[in-house]
Amino acid sequence: MNKVIGLVNFHTSPEITPLTDNRPLGSTSFLGRYGICDFALSNLCNSGISTIGLLVKDHQRSILKHIGSMDAWLSNTKIGQEIVMYNEGAHLHPESNTDINNLRENDWVLYDSSIDYIVIVPAHLVMTIDLRPYLREHIERNEKITAIYAHVRSMVDECVGGKILEKDEDGYVSSTRLNDGTIKGAGDVTLGIYIINRITLVEMIHQLLPKNPYMVLSQLIVEGVKSEMFKLHAARFDGFVRAIDSFAHYMEYSLSLLEKKNIDRLFHPDWPIYTLTHDTPPASYGKNASVSNSYIANGAVINGTVINSIIGRDVIIGEGAVVKNSIIFSSSRIGDGAKVENALVDKYAILTHGHGISGAKKSPLYVHQGAML
Amino acid sequence: MKNELIALILAGGKGTRLQALTRKVAKPAVSFGGKYRIIDFVLSNCANSHINHVAVITQFENGSLNNYVGSGKKWGLNGVNTSTALLSPRQTDEGSDWYKGTADAIYANIDYIDSMNPEYVLILSGDHIYSTNYQAMLSLHKKADADCTISVIDVPLEEASRFGILEADEEGRVTAFKEKPKQPKSTLASMGVYIFTWKVLRANLIRDAKDEKSGHDFGHDIIPYMLEHKKRIFVHRFKGYWKDVGTVNSLHQANMDLLNPSLSKELFGSGVAPVYSEDTAAMPQYIGKNGSVADSLINQGAVIMGSVRRCVVSQGVIVDEGAVIDNSVLMPGCHIRKGAKVSYAIVGPDAIVAKDETIKGTADAVVLYSGRGK
């Protein structure tokens, strides 16, 4: 079999203040149990890709903490490997901190002649995708680059930041433009998932990058198409996908997964999403607990009321407390009688006895990590 | 390399009193507390006591139990200079035989123990629920210059005849021992947890193996013989929650005990000494729009659309809308269909409780419902 390396790209994740002030979106908590990048990592692992690199942009600390001993997403731990890739030089020159420069820093990927194909997946996509059929098609058609895209019903609301594709009759991309969030209607938008022949990537870097060393991978690909270096093959993904692009969307997408029709499209019994175990006991519900339409993580202690919410690991909800349409990150504590509505409470925060906070549905309130209210 | 203390976990028994739950599964592998299997507790105790070499001695239905224990990775017992051994009866030069008793199970593995070169061995039972650090017991053993230290717990006098009962002097030295006495003279019960100085135990095992009248059992044969021959046997008093889950009722009770917050805090180690277990790649638990959960322990991967009160619920359990469950243990993968009523029951792994079916036990007579598999 051809050798494939998978790369989880943290460079292309948007900054969604205030959630990502101190962490990348990829290692941000999701559904009370996962890090968002668990989807990308599990998709690569379940697709039979054994060597996985993490292209880390910044906040390396947060990513290292989440991936732990680095074998939660490997099948054979001898054959497989998880490698953190980091561009140290970019510390001094943030503008040069791109996915391409990170790969140039970790250039063994580019030189290792045993690697035929590179599959690159953004760290912040919430989706389950079997990459094997795409790889097969890429190899069978003898393509150089395949871009995976989704057909988006409302481009104003979804996949903002992706590239809108126009295709010719052979399925090759004829032109691209940025989905900047102002274009109404439906369209085909790239997800940032690419299958690239290693040799092609090396050629692109050698021939195109000198023009502008700050170009990111997606720009480089557009340049390659323009200069007719290769044809860009576009392959469509039809499943559930959410590209988190704003704080409000993070809340909306998370809470929309409380609906069965959505969760059933995202999770499949034979496509497990792996994550780091924390060995926390099952969630404990007190005598007066009242919970409806919510996800509750292990280690949580629920003594109050929880409605349409996501409760993280080791969270304590006090007696008489009410949490509604909200997300509580791990190890936070909602005191007795406290009220939380349309809010995201970050890790280790404490809402004291009887305190009330509420945001609006369209603009949820954010409580800082470690805050005490 | 020399090792001060290694642990040997006896996990070969059948546990017939758990009925259908142990027909195909060894008792230590029976699920417990929503997330765990019974053997997780002793294995986690070993890990949290920094015992680096653990052997699990298996016999009955050892396939699934051996697979579960595996390399010991789930408990971190697979690191540098750390090992997990699985010791099942095997064919040898002398022939092949099943383990004839608890002592014979250790005797048959003398070669393994010698290869670990331990000063002391800790003998444990794979089917006890408790949380402890064995280092305190070891330091007592060393301080007393003991040949054997037995962990004991105070039991009510009326229950004492179910246990091995000890009498000890002021210094804690054992003066008398009787296995399941009809008229117990003390309430100090042996937990079946021993530390032996390996040299002494080794000699006694070899002697006992040649004794044709012996049942090759620690409680019946080894301890009484050592006591009779003036070996230094001491007690280590265990204070805390300890449960030997032998019957359907006691398994149910031990699960219900976890609903007491101070007990579950003690058992689950308050984050300091957690109980480690298998992490199934389950989704977070979901409580539905019309679901209701109170006074319960619910594991990840459960989907609760009905009403659950005073229950312990495992991963992969589905409770449909309109199902009402109280005072019950729902084991992994079971499905309670619409309108079913379940009370004082243990619903076994992958069992299906049909639509509108009623399963009703009482506090004194818990029903074990093993149903048909999916």
Contact B284 A32 (CB under 8 A): yes
DSSP string covering A265-307: HH-BTTB--------PPPEEE-TT-EEESEEE-TT-EE-SEEE
Task: Indicate whether B274 belongs to any domain.
Answer: no
pLDDT less than 50: residues of chain B: 373-374
Which of B283, B290, B320, B326 best tests the A interface by mutation, with the highest count of A CBs <10 A? B283
Look at the block and give the residue holding tokens 């009484």.
B224
Give the domain ranges of chain A.
Answer: 4-266, 284-367
Total domains present in chain B: 2
Which of A291, A303, A313 best tests the B interface by mutation, with the highest count of B CBs <10 A? A291
User: For residue A41, what is the DSSP state?
Assistant: H
Same domain for B298 and B348? yes
Last residue of a domain, one of B230, B262, B294: B262
Task: Indicate whether B349 belongs to any domain.
Answer: yes
Look at residue A321 and tell me whether its pLDDT is greater than 90.
Answer: yes
pLDDT on residue B351: 95
Please give the Cα distance from B105 to B88 (Å, whole number).
9
Of B333, B334, B346, B360, give the one whose Cα is nearest residue B251.
B346
Helix (H, G, I), strand (E, B) or coil at A72: coil
Phi–psi pair at A40, nearest 5 degrees: -60, -45
pLDDT on residue B269: 79
Residues in chain B: 374
- Which of B271, B279, B298 has the CB atom closest to A282's CB atom? B298
Please give the Cα distance from B116 to B130 (Å, whole number).
27
β-pair type (A187-197, A232-237): unpaired
Q: Is A228 exposed, middle or buried (0-12, 13-18, 19+ CB in 10 A)?
A: exposed
Helix (H, G, I), strand (E, B) or coil at A166: strand
Same domain for B227 and B294? no
Same domain for B114 and B202? yes
Same domain for B299 and B199? no
Please give the Cα distance from A190 to A286 (Å, whole number).
47
Contact B35 A282 (CB under 8 A): yes
Please give the Cα distance from B179 to A250 (Å, whole number).
63
Same domain for B85 and B199? yes
pLDDT on residue B20: 84
Instruction: Judge contact between A85 and A55, C-beta under 8 A.
Output: yes
Residue window 101-140, chain A: list those with CB within 8 Å of chain B.
none
Q: Which CATH superfamily is domain A284-367 in?
A: Hexapeptide repeat proteins (2.160.10.10)
Same domain for B166 and B255? yes
Q: What's the longest Cα–Cα distance across chain B?
A: 68
Same domain for B302 and B242? no
Which of B287, B296, B298, B307 best tests the A interface by mutation, with the highest count of A CBs <10 A? B287
- Which of A273, A277, A294 has the CB atom closest to B287's CB atom? A294
Q: In chain A, what percentage of residues exceed pLDDT 70?
A: 99
Residue numbers in B near A298 (CB within 8 A): 35, 285, 299-300
- Which of A290, A297, A302 has the CB atom closest to B284's CB atom? A297
Residues A289-318 have a mean pLDDT of: 97
Same domain for B182 and B252? yes
Contact B291 A274 (CB under 8 A): no
Task: Grade residue A229 by pLDDT with cuts at 50, 70 and 90.
Answer: very high
Of A313, A314, A318, A324, give the one whose Cα is nearest residue A302.
A318
Instruction: Judge contact between B135 and B151, C-beta under 8 A.
Output: no
Which of B41, B267, B293, B331 best tests the A interface by mutation, with the highest count of A CBs <10 A? B293
Last residue of a domain, one of B205, B230, B262: B262
Same domain for B211 and B249? yes
Q: In chain A, what percentage of residues exceed pLDDT 90?
A: 75
Last residue of a domain, one of B262, B295, B312: B262
Same domain for B189 and B103? yes
Contact B297 A285 (CB under 8 A): yes
Q: Name the closest residue on chain B to residue A284, using Cα atoms.
A: B297
Q: What is the CATH number of the domain that holds B296?
A: 2.160.10.10
The Cα of B154 is separated from the nearest Cα of chain A by a number of Å equal to: 28
The Cα of A274 is separated from the nearest Cα of chain B by a number of Å equal to: 6
Instruction: Judge contact between B147 and B225, C-beta under 8 A.
Output: no
Same domain for B189 and B289? no
Helix (H, G, I), strand (E, B) or coil at A179: coil
In order of A58, B116, B270, the CA distances from A99 in angstroms are: 11, 50, 42
Task: Grade residue A1 by pLDDT with cuts at 50, 70 and 90.
Answer: very low
Interface residues from chain B to A (CB-CB < 8 Å): 33-35, 259, 261, 264, 268, 271, 274-277, 279, 281, 283-300, 312-313
Q: Is B248 exposed, middle or buried (0-12, 13-18, 19+ CB in 10 A)?
A: buried
Residue window 20-79, chain A: list those with CB within 8 Å of chain B.
31-33
- Which of B277, B289, B294 has the CB atom closest to A292's CB atom? B289
A4-266 is a CATH 1.25.40.10 domain: no
pLDDT on residue B48: 95
Span A87-108, pLDDT tens digits: 888 877 888 899 999 999 998 8
- Residue ranges making up the domain that contains B340: 282-369
Span A30-77, pLDDT tens digits: 999 999 999 999 999 999 998 899 999 988 888 888 887 777 777 777
Which of B40, B256, B300 best tests the A interface by mutation, with the highest count of A CBs <10 A? B300
Mean pLDDT of chain A: 92
Whether A290 contacts chain B with CB within 8 A: yes
Whether A348 contacts chain B with CB within 8 A: no
pLDDT on residue B17: 82
pLDDT on residue A2: 59
The Cα of B259 is separated from the nearest Cα of chain A by a number of Å equal to: 8
pLDDT on residue B372: 61
Which amino acid would we find at residue B273?
Answer: A
3-state secondary structure chain B: CCEEEEEEEEECCCCHHHHHHHCCCCHHHCEECCCEECHHHHHHHHHHCCCCEEEEEECCCHHHHHHHHCCCHHHCCCCCCCEEEEECCCEECCEECCCCCHHHHHHCCHHHHHHHCEEEEEEEECCEEECCCHHHHHHHHHHCCCCEEEEEEECCHHHHHHCEEEEECCCCEEEEEEECCCCCCCCEEEEEEEEEEHHHHHHHHHHHHHCCCCCCCHHHHHHHHHHHCCCCEEEEECCCCEEECCCHHHHHHHHHHCCCHHHHHHHHHHHCCCCCCCCCCCCCEEECCCCEEECEEECCCCEECCEEEEEEECCCCEECCCCEEEEEEECCCCEECCCCEEECEEECCCCEECCCCEEECCCCCCEEECCCCC
Instruction: Kindly indicate whether the ipTM for this predicted assembly is greater than 0.95, answering yes or no.
Output: no
Same domain for B48 and B164? yes
Which residues make Cβ contacts (< 8 Å) with residue B371, sequence separation at least 6?
B334, B347, B348, B350, B351, B352, B353
Contact A281 B284 (CB under 8 A): no
Residue numbers in B near A293 (CB within 8 A): 287-289, 291
Contact B297 A280 (CB under 8 A): no
Q: Name the closest residue on chain A to residue B277, using Cα atoms.
A: A279
Q: What's the longest Cα–Cα distance across chain A?
A: 68
Q: State which H helix or E strand residue A177 sits in.
A: strand A173-178
Helix (H, G, I), strand (E, B) or coil at A84: strand
Size of interface A-B (CB pairs under 8 A): 100
Q: What is the CATH number of the domain that holds B100?
A: 3.90.550.10
